[in-house]
Amino acid sequence: MFSRGALRTAANRVRSVPAAPFLGSPLTRTCLEPTRRAVAGQSIEARRFVSAYGYQQAKALVYSQYGEPKDVLKLHKHSIAPPHGSQVTLRLLTAPLNPADINQIQGVYPSKPPFDSTLGTGEPSAVAGNEGAFEVIATGSDVKNLKKGDWVIMKRTGQGTWRTHAQMEESKLIKVDKEGLTPLQVGTVSVNPVTAYRMIKDFCNWDWLRAGEEWLIQNGANSGVGRAAIQLAREWGIKTLNVVRDRPTPEETEALKKDLYELGATAVVSESELLSGGSFKEYVNELTRKGKEPIRLGLNCVGGKNATALAKTLAPGSQLVTYGAMSKQPVALPSGLLIFKDLVFSGFWVSKWGDKHPELKEDTINDVLRLTRAGKFKDIPVQEVKWTFDKGETELAEEVNGTLGGFRSGKGVFVYEE
């Protein structure tokens, strides 16, 4: 096992190896031979000289082993050569810190970006982050649909977004019409809203003639996915019964409920109310006019007792979709729900879905952005993490580490300022 200092020394050594620091194909490397020699010379002047020849200085949060972000994330500085062919050079606008990003760094997430040495890191590494909005700052001569100033998002997860600059193939990017949108809205559109959208559309055969008479129930309702689900359901005439965790004081819980009512939630209850047994059953009975307005879909991102209680409210033949496991408790199901109510229990993973349905994913994103432009889809609350080029590794990694803590006032989002 290497110490951190040893790793950094190793990284510095590799940065001085000619071919390593540059993205791009062997052709690029051949063209850039004189510049590489300048880098190999290692003087600071030489590096500046490289920049003057069109190289973009960049920093990326990378990891070469799994663990807690504060222990394994390293800020890696490198240079990006001018783009050629179908390459596009990008500058970060915003990138959220989603729970899945942390799980990926911890090594407990099923998709694991491969570790490689493309960026010239001391050890093969992956760039952290899966979602984000970038601005195009340069394009290769074969790039067809992108130009300087355009905004893009990643076509797939796992492309690494926690970096000030990147260079990618045009085919790996989705162009976004930025008209009327903010970097935050674009940088957070492709994971949570798409997850909510697809779960509501694809896991229930809603009777659209009964708009306003059917319900969905969800926990984690104040999460990014939960907030998206509330707003989409409101737009589509589906009532929502939303569960949030109790805050330290009743006033804070009420304030959170009010926040979700303002987004369009039909009903909001706290977890303690959900788990109160008979009185919650009565409440649901009244809410749904004794089941005349059925709860036809459950969205579960918590698990444990909370998920069981959600399932018990579902009308016969309905579906509980699990998409997260924030409590780390398994989903336990009374057999009666399967035998007598014919409930279906399934799961959804937007990464896999998106890889299978790339065009539908783009359409879904565009539909959410259409609603956003129309003022019908509100921004999630965020805690901005300003990333300036001189910001240090420890500071950035500590911000990331806080992401999985509960009761946050907003999602952490990197906002890059040049």
Ligand X SMILES: NC(=O)c1ccc[n+]([C@@H]2O[C@H](COP(=O)([O-])OP(=O)(O)OC[C@H]3O[C@@H](n4cnc5c(N)ncnc54)[C@H](OP(=O)(O)O)[C@@H]3O)[C@@H](O)[C@H]2O)c1
Judged by beta carbon, residue 57 or residue 111, the one nearer ligand X is 111
φ and ψ at 375, to 5 degrees? Answer: 75, 15
Judged by beta carbon, residue 97 or residue 369, the one nearer ligand X is 97
Structure tokens at 60: 């990326």
Catalytic one of 53, 55, 66, 109: 109
Helix (H) or strand (E) holding 154: strand 151-154
Helix (H) or strand (E) holding 369: helix 358-373
109 is catalytic: yes
Q: Positive or negative CA dihedral for 201, 196, 93, 139?
A: negative
Judged by beta carbon, residue 84 or residue 245, the one nearer ligand X is 245
Residue 301 makes contact with ligand X by CB under 6 A: yes
- Strand-pairing partners, residue 127, are 62
With contacts defined by CB under 6 A, how many residues of the chain interact with ligand X? 24
Spatial distance between the Cα atoms of 80 and 78, rounded to a whole number of angstroms: 7
Closest CA to 25 of 78, 70, 86: 86
Judged by beta carbon, residue 197 or residue 323, the one nearer ligand X is 323
Near ligand X by CB under 6 A: residue from 75, 80, 133, 191: 191
DSSP state of 404: G
Closest separation in Å from C-beta 224 to ligand X: 3
Distances (CA, A) of 138 to 34, 58, 149, 270: 22, 14, 9, 49
| Residues 200-229 interacting with ligand X (rule: CB under 6 A) | 220, 222-225
Closest separation in Å from C-beta 246 to ligand X: 8
Closest separation in Å from C-beta 414 to ligand X: 14
Closest separation in Å from C-beta 24 to ligand X: 32
Residue 195 makes contact with ligand X by CB under 6 A: yes
Judged by beta carbon, residue 230 or residue 350, the one nearer ligand X is 350
- Chain-centroid distance, C-alpha 228: 13
Binding mask 312-341 for ligand X (x = CB under 6 A): -----------xx-xx--------------
Spatial distance between the Cα atoms of 84 and 348, rounded to a whole number of angstroms: 38
Residue 302 makes contact with ligand X by CB under 6 A: yes
Residue 83 makes contact with ligand X by CB under 6 A: no
Residue 99 makes contact with ligand X by CB under 6 A: yes
Residue 402 makes contact with ligand X by CB under 6 A: no
Q: Positive or negative CA dihedral for 14, 17, 19, 23?
A: positive
Residue 17 contacts by C-beta under 8 Å, 6 or more apart in sequence? 40, 120
SS3 assignment, position 398: helix
Spatial distance between the Cα atoms of 310 and 257, rounded to a whole number of angstroms: 18
Residue 406 makes contact with ligand X by CB under 6 A: yes
How many CA atoms does the CB half-sphere of 12 hold within 13 Å?
8
How many CA atoms does the CB half-sphere of 267 hold within 13 Å?
19
Near ligand X by CB under 6 A: residue from 47, 239, 312, 411: 411
Closest separation in Å from C-beta 213 to ligand X: 27
Spatial distance between the Cα atoms of 15 and 120, rounded to a whole number of angstroms: 6
Residue 270 makes contact with ligand X by CB under 6 A: no
Residue 230 makes contact with ligand X by CB under 6 A: no
Distances (CA, A) of 250 to 25, 246, 256, 278, 305: 59, 8, 10, 21, 22
Closest separation in Å from C-beta 276 to ligand X: 17
How many CA atoms does the CB half-sphere of 162 hold within 13 Å?
31
Q: Under a CB-based contact definition with an 8 Å cutoff, are residues 114 and 126 in contact?
A: yes
Task: Dump the DSSP string for 17-36.
Answer: STTTT--S-HHHHHHTHHHH
Binding mask 140-179 for ligand X (x = CB under 6 A): ----------------------------------------
| Residues 340-359 interacting with ligand X (rule: CB under 6 A) | 348-350
Closest separation in Å from C-beta 114 to ligand X: 21
Residue 18 makes contact with ligand X by CB under 6 A: no
Near ligand X by CB under 6 A: residue from 89, 157, 185, 192: 192
SS3 assignment, position 343: coil
Residue 240 makes contact with ligand X by CB under 6 A: no
Closest separation in Å from C-beta 244 to ligand X: 6
Contact range with ligand X by CB under 6 A, out of 38-46, 98-106, 121-129, 274-282: 98-106
Measured from each CB, the residue nearest to ligand X is 324
Chain residues in the site for ligand X (CB under 6 A): 98-100, 191-192, 195, 220, 222-225, 245, 301-302, 323-324, 326-327, 348-350, 406-407, 411
Active site residues: 109
